Amino acid sequence: MAYANDVGGMHGFGDLPEEGHGFESVWEAQVFALNQACVAAGVYTLDEFRHTMERIPPAEYYAMPYYERWLYAVERLLP
C-alpha cells in the first residue's frame, strides 16, 4: 500500500532530532549537488530519484542516514 517514505500520521518515530542545519559533511553537500546537476541535465527525473529511494527495503530505509538514501539512489541511477 505504501513505501517506507509515506509516514504521514504514523506513530512511534519519537522525539524530533537535535537542531542541525544544512549539510554536516562534505559528502552530503556533494551528493546533494550531484543529484541536482543530474536532474537538471536530464540524466533522470526527480520522480525516478524519489522512487528509487522509496524502494529501499523499510528496515534498511529507516536505519539509513538521510543523505545516504540519496547516495543509494544516485548509485543506481547514474551508472
Partner 1 sequence: MSGSGHHRNGELQARVNVLLALAEERGIVDREEIDRRIELLGSSVSPLNGALMVVRAWNDDAYRERLLDDAGAAAAELGVSGGGYSSDIRLHAVANTPEVHNVVVCTLCSCYPLAWLGPPPAWYKSEAYRSRVVRDPRGVLAEFGTTLPDATEVRVWDASAEARYMVVPMAPAGAADLSEDQQLDLVTRDCLIGVAVP
Partner 2 sequence: MRETERSGARPAVGVGDRVRVRVLNPPGHNRAPSYVRGRTGVVVRAVGDGRFPDEAAAVGADARREESWTVAFAGTELWGPDAGPNDRVHVDLFETYLERA
Chain residues in the site for partner 1 (CB under 8 A)? 5-11, 13-27, 29-34, 36-41, 43, 46, 50, 53, 62-69, 71, 74-75, 78-79
Alpha-carbon gap, residue 36 to 18, rounded angstroms: 26
Task: Indicate whether 76 belongs to the interface with partner 2 (CB under 8 A).
Answer: no
Nearer to partner 1, 57 or 63 (CB): 63
**Pseudo-torsion of CA 6, 12, 22, 77, nearest 10°?**
-40
Q: In the block, which residue shows the cell 530505509?
A: 61
Task: Indicate whether 29 belongs to the interface with partner 2 (CB under 8 A).
Answer: no
Alpha-carbon gap, residue 55 to 76, rounded angstroms: 12
Residue 41 contacts which entry, partner 2, partner 1, none (Cβ below 5-8 A, type-dependent):
partner 1
